Chains A and B, each alone.
Chain A
Amino acid sequence: EAQVTQNPRYLITVTGKKLTVTCSQNMNHEYMSWYRQDPGLGLRQIYYSMNVEVTDKGDVPEGYKVSRKEKRNFPLILESPSPNQTSLYFCASSLLGRGSPLHFGNGTRLTVT
């Protein structure tokens, strides 16, 4: 089954403790991206990647890191999480090209205390 898999679904952590949220897709998509969803703000793009070893900042990259060493994986890293990073996070992937829709994971709800 074609899918984007995020793990974990729920994560509670403390300020400053490094964490990684994994994202994997099995559709051979070139494009992958991360979003955070906050009430009243919709989804905002954190980082995106057009291909292996090619990443770029979205609208809200501060406090986050990503890497794209393999085509299928695009982990999101929070080196020193803070409470303002408490949010619902989505990973998505797509083919490159006009009109290619995004395929979303089921989300990771992160709470930083």
Chain B
Amino acid sequence: AQSVTQLDSHVSVSEGTPVLLRCNYSSSYSPSLFWYVQHPNKGLQLLLKYTSAATLVKGINGFEAEFKKSETSFHLTKPSAHMSDAAEYFCVVTFSGGYQKVTFGIGTKLQVIP
């Protein structure tokens, strides 16, 4: 079985300050992990992915995530928040080698205050 826990349903930051969105996972197999972003009334867009290569993964728009196996975490960070980052973010885990099940976290809504 696999699961994803996004530890914060809402995060609020000031523009220009760092962003941290937390994600913990459990998986019986070597996981593939993803972060997706959803802007209001839009579909989901891939931010970045981890598939067993480098543990520090760089994505689009300045976002990064670090895979920590010992902590079963895959937290998303950005050094400096921009107003356009306001959106909902989803952490996703899939089985290694296949897509039999795709499990989403419940999402974290990021608010950026001017």
Per-residue interface assignment for chain A, residues 87 to 102, with 1 indicating a CB less than 8 Å from any chain B CB and 0 otherwise: 0001010101111111
> Given that A41-B106, A42-B107, A43-B104 are contacting pairs, would A98 and B97 also be in contact in the complex, using a CB cutoff of 8 Å?
yes
CB-defined contacts of A98 to chain B, threshold 8 Å? 32, 51-52, 96-97
Contact A58 B51 (CB under 8 A): no
Q: Which of B6, B92, B99, B103 contacts A50 (CB 8 A)?
A: B99
> Given that A90-B43, A99-B49, A106-B43 are contacting pairs, would A58 and B104 also be in contact in the complex, using a CB cutoff of 8 Å?
no
Listed in ascending order, the chain A residues whose CB lies under 8 Å from chain B are 4, 31, 33, 35, 40-45, 48, 50, 56, 58-59, 90, 92, 94, 96-102, 104-107
Q: How far is the CB of A3 from chain B (nearest CB, A)?
A: 10
B11 within 8 A of A: no
How far is A62 from B92 in the complex, measured between Cα atoms in Å? 23
- Closest chain B residue to A43 by CB distance? B104
How far is A100 from B51 in the complex, measured between Cα atoms in Å? 9
> Given that A43-B90, A98-B96 are contacting pairs, would A33 and B102 also be in contact in the complex, using a CB cutoff of 8 Å?
yes
How far is A56 from B105 in the complex, measured between Cα atoms in Å? 21
Q: Which of A58, A101, A104 contacts B49 (CB 8 A)?
A: A101
Contact A59 B34 (CB under 8 A): no
CB-defined contacts of B114 to chain A, threshold 8 Å? none
26 contacts between A and B (CB under 8 A): A4-B43, A33-B102, A40-B9, A41-B106, A42-B107, A43-B44, A43-B90, A45-B102, A45-B103, A48-B102, A56-B100, A58-B102, A59-B103, A92-B44, A96-B98, A96-B99, A97-B97, A98-B32, A99-B32, A99-B49, A101-B34, A102-B44, A102-B92, A102-B102, A104-B45, A105-B43
